[in-house]
Structure 1
Amino acid sequence: MDFPLSLNPHSPIPLHQQLYEELRRSILTGRLLPQHRLPSSRSLAKLLGISRTTVTQSYDRLLSEGYLETIQGSGTYVCSQLPDELLHSAPVQPGDRPSQSPIRLSSYGDYLAQTSFQLQPEPDQPICFRYGRPAFDRFPLPVWRRLLSRHSRSLDWMDYATDMQGYRPLREAIAQYVGRARAVQCTPEQVVITNGTQQALDLMMRLLITPGDTIAIEDPGYLSAQRIFLSHGAKLLPIPVDEAGLQVETLTKPIAYPVRLVYITPSHQFPTGATLSLPRRLELLAWAEQQQSMILEDDYDSEYRYGDRPIPALQGLSQSYAVIYIGTFSKVLFPSLRIGYLVLPHSLVSITAQAKWLSDRHLPLLDQRVLTDFILEGHLESHIRKMRSFYDQNRQALVQALRIHFGEQITILGDKAGMHLMVRLQTHWSDAELVQRAEQVGVGIMLAQPHYLTPADRHELIFGYSELETAQIQIGIARLAQALYPNF
């Protein structure tokens, strides 16, 4: 070699990597010109006092990356096809990359860039009252495995799906189920299978909302829905919620701008747990028909009611096409199944199916087939009955423990249904201090504040009870009461 190579045997960087970088740098800076012949691996190894394997590794990498080429019977040469701009460029050092113009984003991208919202952190404590998850250990996994094995034997589930609305037998099973369990009026032709509630909401925004349109939402309400609506440029009109649900009279007052859509969780309002009363349901339907507005009914966990008769879906009361019904299997089965559904007016079905196809083509056909049999063979409703009994026991244990340990210091909301309830506290602690003091005694709690549109210390907590056992609930509430009211 007619130039020195600097190798450091004491460096943590392997010798073959050092040799590769030295040779590459020499080629890029022009010290080794195109068609320059390199020594054989044996000769260079002897010259540098290193193993031939080390040289061979370096040469092989440079050959694979196009810096070197071999000529049969002649040797190894610097490649003659290197671009001129590379031959005389200085080696690029970390952090020396040239600055580039910012990438122009759409209005949707601008919203996400400016918002940079974070998912609400979930507590990770020995006793955690987080909400939204069913009791995984009570799911009938052997039944699911058997159905999965049954459908896995064939190969036709591996192909593209041909029905843009989703697997037809599953849509038939869902139409029968919601008609029987929720009094929803629909046919299989009105059902579109979605990738959970999130995609259902996103599809409706794409099809019904133009940036600047107004959406009326419950306040407090489902945080993810708020974010989806804002990301599509909608204006949000917060409507207060009381023990009878959405205060519909607020909508009937003169408003400077028309309300295009109302998003509501009428059967078990999230997060307060209130049930929209029948008079208000009828008032809301009459208002929507008069104003030619749409209603998005999110029926996320209405299967679980305790002591009261099941409340029919709002969609079943409608005499017009004002209500779009959203359902999901995340709460009654498991979230990673990622199967939800829309029940749509006939006029929206085709365009929604097209939008769904453009979004993700189709959901996994195997999962849809397994779920179909799970419903048709009665496993779904059997599982719901068992879980309703289990959740009811936990609910009663939670309510009893709260009343024993907190007494008049709290108001319990929404304890007649669902998988969570909300508690309003009388306390001088801030919301942040409530969480901190709970963590100190190994209890994880979640605030209701993020679900409000206006910031404030409201001293309201959401207690999920679906994942816990009765003893954990009792111990957790006792610890929490001692941490928050040590002199009580």
Structure 2
Amino acid sequence: MENTVDSGLNKENIPLYMRVYEYYKDLITEGKLSPGARLPSIRRCEKELSVSRTTAEAAYFQLAADGYVVSKPQSGYFVTDVARREKKDGTVRGIKELEPKTDYDFTSLSADRESFDFTLWRRYIKSALRQDERLLSYGEAQGERELREALCKYITEHRNAVCSPDNIVIGAGVQSLLHIICAVLPRSQKVFFGESEFEQGAAVFSDHGFKSCRTKEEADIIYVSPSHINRLGDVMPTSERLRLIRLADRENKLIIEDDYDSEFGYFNRPTPSLQGLDCGRNVIYIGTFSKLLLPSIRLSFMILPDALLGEYEKKAELYNQTASKTEQIALCSFIRDGNLSIRIRKIKRLYTQKMKLLTSALKEVFGDKANIYIGETGFVLRLEIKCAMSEKEIAERALISGVAVKESGTGKKYPQILLLCSSVASEDFLPAAKRLYGSIFGA
């Protein structure tokens, strides 16, 4: 085989393993490597193309994932007839169309099927649907009164909030509530998002003409998620919460508290909400049921300070209620019957157990080649891998092998990746860990 490495790999801004992938793919699609032909061994590929073993393996994984070659144990990689079939059918498969299949997705926020009692929720939905007369109207723009009353009682007891049902506004997701917030605030104000990864929220403010800033001190609006201040699942200490409240009070700033993940603290009791510590003066509190129930149940709520209620009431008639009235009625009964509290305890036990099982699987497979850190809240685990690869390279190689993970971006000595356990079944943790290990260190 003629070696055209220089011309085949001389491409800028393309990962090296993808250049090797393209090199062999071209040989296959051009017929220079026929179906059944054996690819050079990994070691030979290293020497012929002057690349590392890691790069060669990643390229071969990608070729296999895209169907151009098949791996045979103890024999190597062999060319399939996929290129011949494509040529016959007149089809062309690009790299983006041939993304590797993800068998184990540790990046997904989807719920564990075992965590939700569909039969119970279906019963509440059916009960709501029997209220014929109520469902003939659009309902209250601010949200159903009885749900706001139930939420007020619940949030006061569990998150020490200070409010009345009149302070609560219901919406279909956090973004819909942010649109309302933007409508009642002066657009000349600057907003600070800090370490928040809620890009959709930042986009709402930007779309409404608000300017972002880099520090809390120069901001008029401070958006924080105290129970999940970064992607690692860290919690804002009470001392920092109090400092933030004093800053807002002293300099007349508004805090938007996104209480994301407050129910899922593994090691400590939930820290008091900013809204409660502030007695509801300078804080807009936002809560959501995407994790407590299901992501597909689009119900969120916010608590507005008394100072903003007047401005909201002026605009309220311009905003129709975005949340399903049927789901609002069902959720109200669900909360009043005590099922929300029961569910929180259940899923906290479930995910705590899953985190233990995932930790055990990773320890068994990686041994002393990795350190494991568990976030204070959420379903996130941080895996520090003792190797010379970058986080990006590990994530790419893992994805090629069918395991989706997140980069942590911590910039530590060793690369650290994040694994969310919610959507992966417990019985899949061990095979997933083995697949991940193999993508990094080889089989």
When the two structures are superposed, what TM-score results if normalisation uses the length of structure 1? 0.64
Listed one character per residue, the Cα deviations across residues 146-187 of structure 1 (whole Å, up to 9, x for unaligned) are 222222223223333342211001001111111111111211
The answer to whether the aligner puts 1:465 opposite 2:441 as a matched pair is: no
| Contact 1:170 1:368 survives alignment (8 Å) | yes
State the partner residue of 2:333: 373
Partner Cα distance (1:204, 1:460) in 2: 37
Asked which structure has the greater CA Rg, the reply is 1
| Contact 2:194 2:224 survives alignment (8 Å) | yes
Change in 2 beyond 3 A, CA 1:220/1:153: closer
| Contact 2:100 2:400 survives alignment (8 Å) | no
State the partner residue of 2:281: 321
| Contact 2:161 2:280 survives alignment (8 Å) | no
Listed one character per residue, the Cα deviations across residues 49-68 of structure 1 (whole Å, up to 9, x for unaligned) are xxxxxxxxxxxxxxxxxxxx
Letter of the aligned partner of 1:271 in structure 2? R
Partner Cα distance (1:231, 1:412) in 2: 40
Secondary structure of 2:213's aligned partner = strand
Letter of the aligned partner of 1:214 in structure 2? K
State the partner residue of 1:278: 238
State the partner residue of 1:443: 403
Question: Out of 406, 414, 430, which is 1:474 matched to?
Answer: 430
Q: CA deviation at 1:356?
A: 5.3
| Contact 1:304 1:388 survives alignment (8 Å) | yes
Letter of the aligned partner of 1:329 in structure 2? F
The answer to whether the aligner puts 1:214 opposite 2:190 as a matched pair is: yes
Partner Cα distance (1:385, 1:297) in 2: 23
State the partner residue of 1:53: none
Partner Cα distance (2:286, 2:370) in 1: 33
Q: CA deviation at 1:290?
A: 0.8
Q: CA deviation at 1:124?
A: 5.3
| Contact 2:162 2:280 survives alignment (8 Å) | no
The answer to whether the aligner puts 1:290 opposite 2:250 as a matched pair is: yes
Letter of the aligned partner of 2:380 in structure 1? H
State the partner residue of 1:180: 157
Partner Cα distance (1:230, 1:195) in 2: 20
Letter of the aligned partner of 1:474 in structure 2? L
RMSD, aligned α-carbons: 2.9
State the partner residue of 1:484: 440
Letter of the aligned partner of 1:323 in structure 2? V
Partner Cα distance (2:187, 2:415) in 1: 36
Listed one character per residue, the Cα deviations across residues 67-112 of structure 1 (whole Å, up to 9, x for unaligned) are xxxxxxxxxxxxxxxxxxxxxxxxxxxxxxxxxxxxxxxxxxxxxx
Change in 2 beyond 3 A, CA 1:401/1:237: farther
The alignment covers a number of residue pairs equal to 345
Partner Cα distance (2:178, 2:230) in 1: 16
Kindly report which structure 2 residues correspond to 1:101-250, keeping only aligned pairs within 5 A, or say none. 125-211=102-188, 213-219=189-195, 221-238=197-214
Listed one character per residue, the Cα deviations across residues 244-290 of structure 1 (whole Å, up to 9, x for unaligned) are xxxxxxx45xxxxx311111110122412111111111111101111
Secondary structure of 1:130's aligned partner = coil
State the partner residue of 2:260: 300
Partner Cα distance (1:358, 1:396) in 2: 49
Q: CA deviation at 1:368?
A: 0.7
Change in 2 beyond 3 A, CA 1:389/1:437: same
State the partner residue of 2:347: 387
Letter of the aligned partner of 2:336 in structure 1? L
Partner Cα distance (1:201, 1:444) in 2: 31
The answer to whether the aligner puts 1:360 opposite 2:309 as a matched pair is: no
- Name structure 2 gaps, 5 residues minimum: 1-98
Secondary structure of 1:218's aligned partner = coil
Q: Which moved more, 1:316-325 or 1:388-397?
A: 316-325
Change in 2 beyond 3 A, CA 1:353/1:210: same
Q: Which moved more, 1:179-188 or 1:153-162?
A: 153-162
Change in 2 beyond 3 A, CA 1:132/1:470: same
Kindly report which structure 2 residues correspond to 1:11-160, keeping only aligned pairs within 5 A, or say none. 125-160=102-137
Q: CA deviation at 1:432?
A: 4.1
Partner Cα distance (1:320, 1:174) in 2: 16
Change in 2 beyond 3 A, CA 1:405/1:357: farther
Letter of the aligned partner of 2:426 in structure 1? T
Listed one character per residue, the Cα deviations across residues 6-34 of structure 1 (whole Å, up to 9, x for unaligned) are xxxxxxxxxxxxxxxxxxxxxxxxxxxxx
When the two structures are superposed, what TM-score results if normalisation uses the length of structure 2? 0.70
Secondary structure of 1:337's aligned partner = coil
Kindly report which structure 2 residues correspond to 1:403-422, keeping only aligned pairs within 5 A, or say none. 403-406=363-366, 415-422=375-382
Partner Cα distance (2:199, 2:384) in 1: 19
Secondary structure of 2:187's aligned partner = coil
Q: CA deviation at 1:334?
A: 0.9
Q: CA deviation at 1:431?
A: 4.5
Q: CA deviation at 1:392?
A: 0.3
Secondary structure of 1:215's aligned partner = strand
State the partner residue of 1:84: none
Secondary structure of 1:175's aligned partner = helix
State the partner residue of 1:75: none
Listed one character per residue, the Cα deviations across residues 368-387 of structure 1 (whole Å, up to 9, x for unaligned) are 10110011111111111111
Letter of the aligned partner of 1:467 in structure 2? S
- Name structure 1 gaps, 5 residues minimum: 1-121, 240-250, 253-257
Letter of the aligned partner of 1:382 in structure 2? I
Question: Out of 213, 220, 228, which is 1:260 matched to?
Answer: 220
